[in-house]
Amino acid sequence: MGCFTFVKVMMVLFNLLIFLAGGVLLGVGIWVSVDGTSFVEVIGPVSSQAMQFVNIGYFCIAIGAVLVILGFLGCCGAQKESKCLLMLFFVIVLIIFIAEIAAAVVALVYSSFAESLLRAWVTPVLQNDYGRQKDVTGIWNTTMRELKCCGFTNYTDFIGSYYTNNHNDTFPEFCCNSTVTLCDQAAAANSYVQGCFRQLFDILKENANIVGGVAVGICVLEIAAMAVSMYLYCKIDGKD
């Protein structure tokens, strides 16, 4: 009984932290969506450590919402000793765990396929939103400046884009060497500035141990969360 109570309290506290973390992420996501430029200025010094190819506001809102739901289910399920809520918590964590494993396999074994999927997702953002939306433009400018890269693949991502169509067919300055005064298509082609995906991929390879350690740590936490929720579920079931 003492063990059950201890596990129950730890489950409540752990999921309360998850709930609060999700709330913070939701707040950050709303902040980025409303005023992305000021957010970029705040995280500028460390932004090169994050993947900023997509709208971070929407990403934070989505992750925050999932964490809030998980925290609520785990905390209330343990506190109320609800088998239904605990099972929902277990199933959601299991789905997330399986999705992460699948994504890791695709990224490692089919890296070119993963790159194609990301390109299909990111290129429309560069084509339609860069230069039009402040948050997207600010995030990409920070990324390209700090990583010294251009676009997702290279300068070709901006050909026919909203930005070039409204800037006399010129490209962002990051797509050309610093000695170039007018960054048109010819200058960008001759500058051979690498795409941001390749730059980020090289950084990830250089820090593979850190990335792998974080990934393993997350997986261990998820397995522990599933084990604890199932332990409580079985113990509660045994009381009936």
- pLDDT tens across 151-162, in order? 888 999 999 999
Lowest mean per-residue pLDDT among 2-6, 107-111, 218-222: 107-111
169 neighbors 67 (Cβ within 8 angstroms): no
50: left (phi over 0), alpha (psi -120 to 50) or beta: beta
The pLDDT > 70 percentage for the chain reads: 80
CA R_g for the chain: 22
Q: Which domains does the chain have, with CATH numbers?
A: 2-40+54-112+215-239 (no CATH), 113-200 (1.10.1450)
Percent of the chain with pLDDT over 90: 12
- Rounded distance, CA 149 to CA 136, Å? 16
Residue 51 has pLDDT above 50, yes or no: no
* Mean pLDDT of all residues in 2-16: 82
Q: Is the pLDDT at 38 greater than 60, yes or no?
A: no
Residue bearing the bigger pLDDT, 57 or 196: 196
- For the cut 80, the answer to whether the pLDDT of residue 220 exceeds it is yes
Give pLDDT, residue 55.
56
